[in-house]
Amino acid sequence: MDAMKAQALLASFSIFLLFPNTLTAPAIASCARCDEVAHGFASLNGGTYGGRDGTVVTATTFEQLKEYAGSEEPLIIRVDGALTAEPLGYEVPIKSDKTIIGVGNTGHIVGGGFNINQEKNIIIRNLEISDTYIPEDYNGKTEDWDAIQIDTGSNIWIDHVKLTRMADGLIDSRKDTDYITVSNSLLSDHNKAFGIGWTDNVIAKMTINDNFFNSTNQRNPSADNLLHCHMYNNYHLNLTSYGNYARGQTQLLVENSYFEEVHDPVVAGPDASIRSNLLKFKDCTGETHESVNPDNVFDAREFYEYEVKDPYDLPTTIPPFVGPREDIGV
Ligand SMILES: *[C@@H]1O[C@H](CO)[C@@H](O)[C@H](O)[C@H]1NC(C)=O
Ligand SMILES: *[C@@H]1O[C@H](CO)[C@@H](O)[C@H](O)[C@H]1NC(C)=O
């Protein structure tokens, strides 16, 4: 063996010692920022990390997405391109320990959505979900076609999504779904945006921060029987029926938010409590309940750290940063 060959052999052998799996492991798709974990209430109760410890796979068809989302193992599922739901309105069931994440700003579910039923540790991130809207049915009475419906789920993080023009709700969080964070998202052009409740129990805890509610009519959110509802850094524009609505026994802490052309920006039902900090209103109408039995309301800093923004900055800083991002999932 000549000296050069011996040297090459030695070099490859030392690489093998350093990275014993590199010769056998299958090629894994890159996935930028796919190991990020939830903040807020979804960071408690063991945390929300989705499929972080599993394989990275890429769905380029709706059939693949259904298969991966229904698998029993942890997976990071990249959604590459616009996938059209079949049949119209189909909500893909997601099993525990999954991250569903769009590739840059291409990931889009058209004409369908997702359903989580008694599953946990799920991240839905960096995706657009749209267009099950039925034009002759503005009130959404004919089909329960949501973008994201969660029944009795826990540890769910919805982040950097754009949800628009659906038949029923954009997000329906029901039946004691707990430890959930919804952040950096755009909820737009819709009637019933974000409903929370469908339960008599008062146990669920939710963080809703850095979102843009744009031209939605009602449920921004409608928060019924949430033990702790923490909203901060949200920008609301052109909400025609009402804005943040604390119903049932909900405790709502609402901080550093901006309301523009909103009817009834912040309101409480007869048994709810509201404490607020630094809310700014421009051209709003109707009622505002900034303080309703405020001593009943929890202190979010006893649960986690968070950073509030100057509400006057929200109309300019929030819109560019909500929804899918070029640098996530690529
Ligand atoms: C906000 O809603 C208006 C009215 O429907 C729409 O024209 C506009 O594109 C929306 N903005 C965003 C950022 O989605
Ligand atoms: C306000 O939102 C409604 C939908 O709720 C929409 O029809 C209307 O065009 C929006 N107005 C503006 C000025 O964007």
Which residue type is seen at 283?
A: D
249 lines ligand 2 (CB under 6 A): no
Q: What is the pLDDT of residues 266-318, one digit of tens each?
A: 999 999 999 999 999 999 999 999 999 999 999 999 999 999 999 999 999 99
CATH classification at residue 153: 2.160.20.10
Q: Does ligand 2 come within 6 angstroms of the Cβ of 48?
A: no
* C-alpha span between 84 and 76 (Å, rounded): 20
Tens of pLDDT, residue by residue over 198-255, are 999 999 999 999 999 999 999 999 999 999 999 999 999 999 999 999 999 999 999 9
Determine whether the shortest distance from the Cβ of 315 to ligand 1 is under 6 A: no
Q: What is the pLDDT of residue 7?
A: 57
Q: How far, in Å, from the CA of 215 to the mean position of ligand 2?
A: 5
In the reported structure, the alpha carbon of residue 77 is separated from the centroid of ligand 1 by a whole-number distance in angstroms of 29
- Contact predicate 45/154, CB 8 Å: yes
Instruction: Report the atom number in ligand 2 closest to the C-alpha of 189.
Output: 4
Best probe residue, ligand 2, of 133, 217, 218, 240 (max atoms within 8 Å of C-beta): 240
| Ligand 2 pocket residue status of 240, Cβ below 6 Å | yes
State the residue range of the domain holding 281: 26-321
The reply to whether 275 falls in a domain is: yes
Q: Which of 170, 215, 216, 239 to mutate to test the pocket of ligand 1 (most atoms within 8 A of CB)?
A: 215
Q: What is the mean pLDDT of residues 66-88?
A: 97
Average model confidence (pLDDT) across the chain: 92
pLDDT at residue 14 greater than cutoff 70: no
Does 79 score more than 50 pLDDT?
yes
Going from the Cα of 238 to the center of ligand 1, the distance in angstroms, rounded, reads 10
In a domain, 18, yes or no: no
Identify the pLDDT of residue 279.
98
In a domain, 83, yes or no: yes
Instruction: For residue 212, give the ligand 1 atom closest to its CA.
Output: 13
| Ligand 2 atom having least distance to the Cα of 191 | 5
**SS3 sequence of the chain:** CCHHHHHHHHHHHHHHHHCCCCCCCCCCCCCCCCCCCCCHHHHCCCCCCCCCCCEEEEECCHHHHHHHHCCCCCEEEEECCEEECCCCCCEEECCCCEEEEECCCCCEEECCEEEEECCEEEEEECCEEECCCCCCCCCCCCCCCCCEEEECCEEEEEECCEEECCCCEEEEEECCCEEEEEECCEEEEEEEEEEEECCCCCCEEEEEECCEEEEEEECCCEEECEEEEEEECCEEEEECCCCEEEECCCEEEEEEEEEEEEECCEEECCCCEEEEEEEEEECCECCECCCECHHHCCCHHHCCCCCCCCHHHHHHHHHHHCCCCCCCCC
Mean pLDDT for 10-31 is 53
Residue 292 phi/psi, 5° resolution?
A: -135, 110
pTM recorded for the entire structure: 0.91
pLDDT at 15 over 80: no
Question: Does the residue 292 lie in any domain?
Answer: yes
Mean pLDDT to the nearest integer, 109-135: 94
Q: Could you tell me if residue 304 is inside a domain? A: yes
Domain annotation covers residue 330: no
Residues 6+ apart with CB under 8 A from 228: 41, 205, 206, 251, 253, 298, 300, 303
Residue 326 lies in a domain: no
C-alpha distances (whole Å) from 7 to each of 2, 3, 13, 21 are: 9, 6, 10, 22
- Name the more confident of 252 and 22: 252
Residue 42 within any structural domain of the chain: yes
- Per cent of the chain over pLDDT 70 is 91
From residue 305, give the alpha-carbon distance in Å to each of 103, 123, 214, 295, 308: 29, 20, 27, 21, 10
pLDDT of 24 = 43
Task: For residue 251, report the distance from its CA to the centre of ligand 2, in Å.
Answer: 30
165 Cβ inside 6 Å of ligand 2: no
Predicted confidence (pLDDT) at residue 3 exceeds the cutoff of 70 = no
Q: Which atom of ligand 2 is nearest to the CA of 217?
A: 5
Determine which residue's CA is closest to atom 14 belonging to ligand 2. Answer: 215
- Give the mean model confidence (pLDDT) for residues 48-64: 96
158-209 pLDDT per residue, tens: 999 999 988 888 999 999 999 999 999 999 988 899 999 999 999 999 999 9
As beta bridge partners, residue 152 has none
Average pLDDT rounded to a whole number, residues 73-82: 97
> How much is the pLDDT for 165?
87
Domain count, the chain: 1
**Which of these ranges, 2-6, 167-171, 187-191, 320-324, has the smallest mean pLDDT?**
2-6
Question: Which ligand places an atom closest to the C-alpha of 319?
Answer: 1
Residue 238 CA to ligand 2 center (angstroms) comes to: 6
What is the C-alpha separation between 141 and 160, in angstroms, rounded? 28
Judge if the beta carbon of residue 177 lies within 6 A of ligand 1.
no
Q: Mention every residue, 6+ apart, whose C-beta is less than 8 A from residue 189.
A: 164, 165, 214, 215, 216
Question: What's the pLDDT at 134?
Answer: 78
